[in-house]
Copies of this chain bind each other. A is one copy, B any other.
């Protein structure tokens, strides 16, 4: 999951670790607390070993007059490679079971602007299915096993059930929007948000496979 997120962010601009973490936190703040350096740095090393990103020590050119007395540790800037972009496209398009759990879905959703419409639809529907299953499980417990459980546990289930129902409704809305070729929460096309580098045209009918 982290792999996908890092690749996605570096596609927007080269960054160093600290910056990456901040951007990650901003982009994924809705679904997870803040990613740890204990995950980030090993992931960066892994990605680099695989050839999907390159690492370049920041040396401001005119800085060699500074002696190596304190062995200045410069920032390390990571840049995505062509292979990395391919890898990202592959990861974003293929949906495994982990694509539909809370974290996995959140990360995929956060990069929907770089995802073609067919895949978006597939992911939204898969997520809906999963949440519906969870919802049924909770309903079962609240119905059949209610007398076995104490009031607090029951209250927890009720709150969870409510959250499920709410998310299903949210997904329904997104799916309907997606089918009618509109951007999220954007009743009329043309106003489509991201000025800048939105790869995939938000309108339907398109969705060609990739570039040469």
Contacts and interface: CB of A to CB of B under 8 A. Distances in A.
A110 B159 contact: no
A155 B113 CA distance: 12
Given A151-B183, A151-B192, A31 B156 contact: yes
A149 B27 CA distance: 8
A84 interface: no
This protein's copies in its complex: 2
A163 B160 contact: no
Nearest to A157: B30
Interface residues of A, number: 46
B101 A161 contact: no
Interface in A4-52: 26-27, 29-31, 33
Contact of A158 (B150, B160, B185, B198): B185
A63 interface: no
A153 B185 contact: no
Q: Which among A106, A134, A152, A166 has the highest number of chain B CB atoms within 10 Å?
A: A152
11 contacts: A29-B134, A29-B138, A30-B157, A30-B159, A31-B160, A109-B152, A150-B194, A151-B186, A155-B174, A155-B184, A166-B166
